[in-house]
């Protein structure tokens, strides 16, 4: 009788032991799969955060380019006023500032196409020519001609500004 009871208990514990082992395996597999899903979601979230940061960086660079275009236009308008008033020293100071702004704009190459970069380079060249003419003491300055050149450069900067605004709205 005791031997039969011990045999039944052994069978009972063996069955429950096997069942517990199988259940432990199932729980382990579920836990492992859950961990994999969480790791995958974390990786996806990190990639999305990286993309968002990259997008924000581009928007900030475009904003800086927008500001530089607007600043350049404003400075050219000041220079044109100084030309009309024959205030050559003041205009020379503003030419220097304008060149710095345009070079900064040129450095924002991610915001512009190759054609637009060529336009910026041409504007810089035209501005340098005007500045050289104003800075030459032996030369008779023609403010009307200089202002006409500057007006053309303003139009080019307005075109760049408009293109940047369109690009920024698309993003």
Tell me which of 49 and 5 has the higher pLDDT.
49
As a whole number of angstroms, the distance between CA 85 and CA 113 comes to: 37
Q: How far is CA 111 from CA 20, 50, 87, 108, 165, in A?
A: 64, 20, 35, 6, 11
Containing H/E element for 141? none
As a whole number of angstroms, the distance between CA 138 and CA 151 comes to: 25
CB 98 within 8 A of CB 72: yes
The CATH number of whichever domain residue 19 belongs to comes to 1.20.120.330
As a whole number of angstroms, the distance between CA 107 and CA 147 comes to: 26
Number of domains within the chain: 1
Closest CA to 97 of 73, 117, 61: 73
Q: Name the pLDDT band for 164 (thresholds 50, 70, 90).
A: confident
As a whole number of angstroms, the distance between CA 31 and CA 144 comes to: 80
Containing structural domain, residue 131: 2-170
pLDDT for 99-123, tens place per residue? 999 999 888 777 788 999 999 999 9
CB 82 within 8 A of CB 88: yes
Rg over alpha carbons for the chain, rounded to the nearest Å, is: 36
pLDDT for 124-141, tens place per residue? 999 999 999 999 878 788
């Amino acid at each position: 009788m005791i031997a039969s009871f011990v045999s039944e208990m052994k069978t009972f514990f063996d069955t429950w032991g096997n069942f517990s082992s199988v259940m432990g395996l199932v729980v382990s597999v579920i836990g492992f799969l859950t961990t994999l899903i969480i790791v995958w979601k974390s990786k996806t979230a990190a990639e999305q955060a990286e993309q968002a940061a990259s997008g924000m960086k581009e928007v900030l660079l475009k904003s800086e380019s927008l500001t530089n275009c607007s600043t350049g236009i404003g400075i050219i308008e000041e220079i044109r006023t100084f030309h009309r008033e024959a205030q050559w020293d003041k205009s020379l100071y503003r030419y220097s500032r304008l060149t710095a702004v345009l070079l900064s704009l040129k450095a924002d190459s991610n915001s512009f196409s190759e054609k637009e970069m060529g336009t910026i380079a041409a504007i810089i060249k035209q501005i340098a020519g005007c500045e050289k003419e104003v800075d030459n003491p032996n030369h008779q300055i023609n403010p009307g001609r200089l202002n006409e050149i500057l007006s053309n450069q303003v139009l080019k900067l307005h075109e760049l500004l408009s293109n940047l605004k369109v690009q920024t709205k698309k993003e």
